[in-house]
Amino acid sequence: MNAQDIKRVAVIGAGTMGAGLALSFAVAGIEARLFDISQRQLAVGRERIHKALELFVQEGVVSPAQAQDIPGLIPAYSDRAAALSGAQFVLEAVPEDLALKQRLLAEMEREVAPDTVLASNTSALYITQIAAQCARPEMVCGMHWWNPPELVPLVEVIKGERTSEATARLVYELCERVDRVPIMVKKEVPGFVGNRMQLALFREAMHIVEQGVADPQDVDRAVKYALGFRWSFIGPLETADLGNLDTWHRVASYLFPFLADTKQAPARLGELVAQGHLGVQTGQGLYEYTPQEAADKVRRRDLYFLRERRLVKEVNRS
Tell me the average pLDDT across 60-64: 95
**What mean pLDDT do residues 132-150 have?**
97
**To the nearest whole percent, how much of the chain has pLDDT over 90?**
96
* Residues forming CATH 1.10.1040.10 domain(s) in the chain: 195-317
Residue 278 is predicted with a pLDDT of 97
pLDDT value at residue 16: 83
CATH topology assigned to domain 195-317: N-(1-d-carboxylethyl)-l-norvaline Dehydrogenase; domain 2 (1.10.1040)
Mean pLDDT over all residues of the chain?
96
User: What stretch(es) of the chain map to CATH 3.40.50.720?
Assistant: 3-185
Mean pLDDT to the nearest integer, 232-246:
95
At 150, is the pLDDT very low, low, confident or very high (cuts 50, 70, 90)?
A: very high
Closest CA to 36 of 17, 13, 20, 56: 13
What pLDDT was estimated at residue 318? 86
State the pTM of this model.
Answer: 0.94
* Model pLDDT, residue 159: 96
Which segments of the chain are extended strands (E)? 8-12, 31-35, 76-77, 89-92, 117-121, 140-145, 154-158, 181-185
Class of domain 3-185: alpha beta
Sign for the CA dihedral angle at 291, 294, 296, 298 comes to negative
